[in-house]
Amino acid sequence: MQANTYPLSQILLPDRRYLIPTFQRDYEWTQEGQWELLFEDLAATADRLLDARSSGEVGHALLAKEALVSPHFLGAIVVAPVLSATGGITLRSVIDGQQRLTTTQLLIRGVLDVLTSEDSVKQHQLREMLYNKPYLVAKPEEKYKLWPRRNDRAVWPTAVEDVVPDYVSEDHLYFSARAYFAESARGYVSEGGQVASERMDALADALSTLLKLVVIDLEENDDAQVIFEVLNGRQSPLAAIDLVKNLLFLRGELAEDDVETLYDKYWAHFDDEWWKEEVGRGHAARGRRDVLLSVWLTAETAREASVGHLYGEARAYLNDGPSTEEVLKSLAAYSTAYEAIYSHVEVLDDSLKTAYDRIRKLEVATAVPLLSWLRTLPESSMCNADHVRAVRAVESWALRRAFLGLQTRGYGMHLVRTLSEAKSAYDAGGDIANAVIVSLQRGALGWPTDRDVADAFLHNRYYRVIGQPRIALLLSAIDAHVRANDPHQPDAKIDYSNLQIEHVMPQSWEQNWPITVDGRVVEGDEDDPVWQTASDVRRRAVNRLGNLTLVTGSFNRRLSHGAWQSKRPEFSRQNTLVINFPIANTDSWDESHIDRRAADLARIAIEIWPSPEALGS
């Protein structure tokens, strides 16, 4: 038996056919189960390649930089040779890994759809990873690198041909997978509504060169059926944290430590039900203790931990020498920090509590290693004021980007770099908060400026572009901030989670909200250029942030599309929310009012989420 690791191009570019034996199960991988995670892994790998290519290096230095980009390992497949005609295409029977190999082919097909539509030069290499050279093909099925199990052979040619199938009428997972990967690839290569050629090239190169498979090539005397059954044995695997626990306490026993005392002191709290719960959705769901293990590893090593290889990475870290008690003590400290960030224990500082709450609502989990590490620092190294400043920096950076609808891919690497630079400042006795603030501004995922925020609030479409929970978070924070800073407002505890987003000027404005130009009502006439221009301006304005607000359940929805004279009193009755006072006090409501309110909201948002300069970098 031979086992070697190859990039996909080395596996799929040679003229070879991979045959799926009939005894294997149906194709059953799904979007939620595997496709999403696979594409996320590809995109993350492409991001690493993009990061290297944007380093400013050229020539040999750039090649060296690209050579250091870490690949992504897809796992293993087991294949066995099949007798084939001399001079014909080499055959391999896929003994294990047919789900993985089939999905890889569909991933290539989906990405190829985008490359073909954009006439990318990269399309040719990907096409050769799906099809054998025509002059070697003696039978129609020999065209395809992969030939599926018997039940799917009638479907496969349509699923991978250049002609894009009608996904609506095709009822097979092959078509759903191709459609999903094509859509995901289109989303990845698009930036601001345009296809970015550098992102397209990076995605294609990462797919062909940086995605790798372990190919176990059986020799003639290996029993393929027995190996297949063993490899697919249905056992319940231990979680990564359980494997680490076993390793740690075994090490402790061999070192003659008092493992019972160590367990009671550092590990017993992990037996609480809260720690046993699963968090996350779909394929990202995992036990909270495994999440903590990932947080701890990332923070300790200042390298982004791989969720799929937690135990292996933890074992490698442990082999570097920390004692059992040192590791347990560190894990316990991070668990306490994690509990605070996720509101399982009380956080005394209101600024920290609020920041943690908002970061959780944004689901910026990649910030948790940095936030956890900050909480483990002694006050002699970082006073509370600087701790608050560093956490508020992370909050401001993340929320400004969220409210501008900016790219979130690559946050893991960006925040790990920030963590690494903060740890360097700590080791050197420097200002840790300043290190965080400075690092967050660097690179492609920088910190939006005050001007960026003001421009986005004024010009960007928010409704149905920015998720409604994020809009609600933004407006709720503004309302709470204004209330807290208005000495005339009484203290009030408002449950913002029950509020709803409302358009001040309704989306269906044509009947009750006439357009006026130079004091004259312009009647709706699609042939009138004045109407065309004015109505286009209004259609854009109604979905901008200045026209959105929060209302309580008492808001009369029957008046939502009514004229301003009938709707305005409803805002007067919404006196629970300070954010609605200026609206209720306005005699009219048009595009100029929307723009002025956007400017007011931006000014307040900039106060809540300060710039690096305001935080004192």
Q: What digits encode the pLDDT tens for the residues 360-381?
A: 999 999 999 999 999 999 999 9
Strand blocks (E) in 239-361: 278-279, 286-287
* Final residue in a domain of this structure, among 231, 262, 296: 231
Distance of alpha carbon 277 from alpha carbon 89, whole angstroms = 51
pLDDT score at 315: 76
- Is the confidence at residue 117, as pLDDT, over 70? yes
- 218: tokens are 């059986």
Q: Are residues 423 and 519 in the same domain?
A: no
- Is the confidence at residue 224, as pLDDT, over 70? no
pLDDT digits (tens, 9 = 90+) for 548-577: 999 998 888 888 889 999 999 999 998 889
- Following DSSP, what letter does each residue of 134-192 receive, concatenated? GGG-SSGGGGBSEE--GGGTTTHHHHHSSSPP-TTT--SHHHHHHHHHHHHHHHHHEET
Domain that holds residue 177: 2-231
Distance of alpha carbon 418 from alpha carbon 443, whole angstroms = 11
Residue 244 identity: V
Q: Are residues 297 and 166 in the same domain?
A: no
Q: How confident is the model at residue 254 (pLDDT cuts 50, 70, 90)?
A: low
Q: Are residues 473 and 425 in the same domain?
A: no
Identify any residues that bridge with 214 across adjacent strands, giving them in sequence order.
5, 76
Distance of alpha carbon 270 from alpha carbon 288, whole angstroms = 10
Which residues make Cβ contacts (< 8 Å) with residue 165, sequence separation at least 6?
Answer: 158, 159, 175, 178
pLDDT score at 289: 93
Q: Are residues 163 and 190 in the same domain?
A: yes
Sign, Cα dihedral of 393, 394, 395, 396: positive
Q: How confident is the model at residue 57 (pLDDT cuts 50, 70, 90)?
A: confident
pLDDT score at 24: 62
- Is the confidence at residue 233, as pLDDT, over 70? no
pLDDT digits (tens, 9 = 90+) for 459-512: 999 999 999 999 999 999 999 999 999 988 888 788 999 999 999 999 999 989
pLDDT score at 96: 79
Q: Are residues 510 and 434 in the same domain?
A: no
pLDDT score at 221: 45
In 3D, which of 582, 605, 611 has the Cα closest to residue 456?
605
Q: How many domains does the chain have?
A: 3
pLDDT digits (tens, 9 = 90+) for 440-466: 999 999 999 999 999 999 999 999 999
- Is the confidence at residue 228, as pLDDT, over 60? no
- Is the confidence at residue 405, as pLDDT, over 90? yes
pLDDT score at 132: 94
Q: Are residues 379 and 256 in the same domain?
A: yes
pLDDT digits (tens, 9 = 90+) for 577-603: 999 999 999 999 999 999 999 999 999
Residue 406 identity: L
Distance of alpha carbon 293 from alpha carbon 302, whole angstroms = 14
Q: How confident is the model at residue 250 (pLDDT cuts 50, 70, 90)?
A: low
Distance of alpha carbon 307 from alpha carbon 369, whole angstroms = 14
467: left (phi > 0), else alpha (psi -120 to 50), else beta? beta
- Is the confidence at residue 246, as pLDDT, over 70? no
Q: Are residues 435 and 502 in the same domain?
A: no
Higher pLDDT, 393 or 306: 393
- Following DSSP, what letter does each residue of 363-395 receive, concatenated? T-GGGHHHHHHHHHS-TTTS-HHHHHHHHHHHH
- What is the end-to-end Cα distance of the chain in Å, rounded? 58
Out of 174-183, 227-236, 422-431, least confident range: 227-236
Q: Are residues 254 and 109 in the same domain?
A: no
Higher pLDDT, 450 or 223: 450
Specify the long-range contacts of residues 564-571, CB closer than 8 Å, at least 24 apart: 564/505, 564/512, 564/513, 564/588, 564/589, 567/504, 571/504
pLDDT digits (tens, 9 = 90+) for 198-211: 999 999 999 999 99
Cα 336–Cα 337–Cα 340 angle in degrees, nearest 5 = 90
Could you tell me how far CA 302 lies from the centroid of its own chain? Answer: 19
pLDDT score at 247: 65
Q: Are residues 192 and 297 in the same domain?
A: no
In 3D, which of 466, 465, 460, 453 has the Cα closest to residue 400?
453
Between the alpha carbon of residue 14 and those of residues 18, 103, 571, the distances in Å are 11, 19, 69
* Final residue in a domain of this structure, among 418, 447, 476: 447
* Final residue in a domain of this structure, among 428, 447, 466: 447
- 536: tokens are 């286009």
Q: Are residues 392 and 260 in the same domain?
A: yes
In the chain, % of residues over pLDDT 90: 66
Per the listing, tokens 């920390």 go with 322
How confident is the model over 372-396, as a mean pLDDT?
A: 96
Distance of alpha carbon 143 from alpha carbon 154, whole angstroms = 14
| Enclosing H/E stretch for 77 | strand 72-82
Q: How confident is the model at residue 235 (pLDDT cuts 50, 70, 90)?
A: very low
pLDDT digits (tens, 9 = 90+) for 332-371: 999 999 999 999 999 999 999 999 999 999 999 999 999 9
Q: How confident is the model at residue 193 (pLDDT cuts 50, 70, 90)?
A: confident
Q: Are residues 477 and 517 in the same domain?
A: yes
Give the Cβ contact number of residue 482 at 10 Å: 19
Distance of alpha carbon 406 from alpha carbon 326, whole angstroms = 40
User: What is the average pLDDT value for the chain, to the nearest integer?
Assistant: 89
The answer to whether 240 touches 247, Cβ cutoff 8 Å, is no
State the burial class of residue 497 (Cβ atoms within 10 Å of its Cβ: 0-12, 13-18, 19+). exposed
Sign, Cα dihedral of 556, 469, 279, 372: negative
pTM confidence score: 0.65
Q: Are residues 249 and 226 in the same domain?
A: no
Write the DSSP symbol of residue 507: S
